[in-house]
Structure 1
């Protein structure tokens, strides 16, 4: 009789514990895959503004640039991206090309620096290096494949006005990522990551924080981000990246015609797509 009562108590205690464990209708991996697969258009063109901000809040550099994206293999979801800095004079005509490769191969990256007068290939060992002095690294420019991490849905909560899934992503291969892990707030409606905490391998503390500012809006039917901040919590330095406006309208367009020759080493060297 005593054992029977004890067993019932253990069962009730077990049920009580289970009831406190959150259950989700979606997994962290599913959220990450939906974020990876969201519609970003076959092509995209945007005029951007980049500000480098010191720990004291002083704007160290105010830059203007153009970006172009081109999905060159729709079936395999592979893209090419080009960035061209327009101002100030110290960085004008600097151009960057990134080509996303098939699974198993790192993205190819090249940068043209006018002062050197040549195109330089960015090696895989440069992933942790700063991209043109910003708080983004070359590794931050890449899109990680979902299978490269294990994903755990931690909770559901609001970020600003948006209902979000909060997902922890840990690299399957530690050496394959510059961060120990990422915790990302993904908007439920659009599956756009609105906030990401990037953890240092050395300290296991948050090293950098990426946040989306302002509202999300649809442009040509595609959910879009217009303002992003990358903050290095170790240095206090920030990089602000915004879509520029003209006559009150964002300079952002999707699915327009685009010359594939723009996405070549020849273009980033000469500035001419021919």
Structure 2
């Protein structure tokens, strides 16, 4: 089975689990840390209601609400399909996004914009574009092959109360990636990246940072993150992505039945 590493993924930021908490920690290297991150069980499917707050450098907030469905479609090759539907505000209501992971090549992505009234495919040249005005790009949401990176264990240190491995990932083919490198703080207890630094491809300077803002808790036996903050360090703009409540309960569920028709371009076009 090919191993895929999701460096940043909006829809799967809440879906991390340790495959075994009894592994020894001696003689571990950077690649092994990231393999353990990759080998987590994220369930056969996931469904969540999420908030996305766009925060400018002055602290002004533009809130958004979206719903996410994700389902594993190929267990042998570890491939998922994911769809997102924006509910609020009214200006972007019914905007829908679909991503289909591929084995050995870039994931397919499409978006439906109600104002245009049609489904548009996201081309490779648009990978660095902002997703819906957020600090996440289309490339941030794509899956990554573990074998496409070199890893180095830089340090072991505490972050936000968690003992972490600090791992640098450098692309073997820099022209194929949007970042010169990433550095991840991965918890020793859960193998969850609770902080990720992203370095600019041209200047090689740090310019984006993702931090987990919530405690790590178990939902249906799966270690779960409820809030993540992405910051553009150049502009000061931030995106807070978090699980929302419905009827006073957090709407986050695993291993639920999802109709395959939801992961189609027809659903993007019609919403059904």
* Global fold match (TM > 0.5): yes
Aligned to 1:55: 57
* Distance apart, 1:247 and its partner CA: 5.1
User: Taking structure 2 as the reference length, what is the TM-score of the superposition?
Assistant: 0.89
* Distance apart, 1:143 and its partner CA: 2.1
* Distance apart, 1:158 and its partner CA: 1.1
Matched, 1:173 2:173: yes
8 Å contact kept, 2:243–2:251 = yes
Aligned to 1:43: 45
For residues 179 and 259 of structure 1, the distance between their equivalents in structure 2, rounded to whole angstroms, comes to: 36
Q: 1:54-108: per-residue Cα shift (whole Å, max 9, x none)?
A: 001111x2111100000000111000110000010111000000000012x1000
Matched residue pairs, number?
A: 248
* Distance apart, 1:248 and its partner CA: 4.6
Aligned to 2:79: 78
For residues 72 and 119 of structure 1, the distance between their equivalents in structure 2, rounded to whole angstroms, comes to: 22
Matched, 1:212 2:212: yes
Matched, 1:237 2:220: no
For residues 136 and 72 of structure 1, the distance between their equivalents in structure 2, rounded to whole angstroms, comes to: 25
Q: Mark the runs of 5 or more structure 1 residues left unpaired by the alignment.
A: 1-22
User: Taking structure 1 as the reference length, what is the TM-score of the superposition?
Assistant: 0.88
1:196 match: secondary structure: strand
For residues 90 and 62 of structure 1, the distance between their equivalents in structure 2, rounded to whole angstroms, comes to: 12
User: How does 1:103-118 map onto structure 2 within 5 Å?
Assistant: 103=104, 105-118=105-118
8 Å contact kept, 2:107–2:143 = no
Aligned to 1:121: 121
* Distance apart, 1:246 and its partner CA: 3.5
Out of 74-83 and 242-251, give the one that drifted further.
242-251
User: How does 1:56-205 map onto structure 2 within 5 Å?
Assistant: 56-59=58-61, 61-103=62-104, 105-205=105-205
* Distance apart, 1:115 and its partner CA: 0.3
User: How does 1:5-44 map onto structure 2 within 5 Å?
Assistant: 25-44=27-46
For residues 101 and 264 of structure 2, the distance between their equivalents in structure 1, rounded to whole angstroms, comes to: 13
Aligned to 2:253: 253
1:180 match: secondary structure: strand
Q: 1:150-171: per-residue Cα shift (whole Å, max 9, x none)?
A: 0001111111111111000000
* Distance apart, 1:190 and its partner CA: 1.3
Q: Which has the larger radius of gyration?
A: 1
Q: Mark the runs of 5 or more structure 2 residues left unpaired by the alignment.
A: 1-24
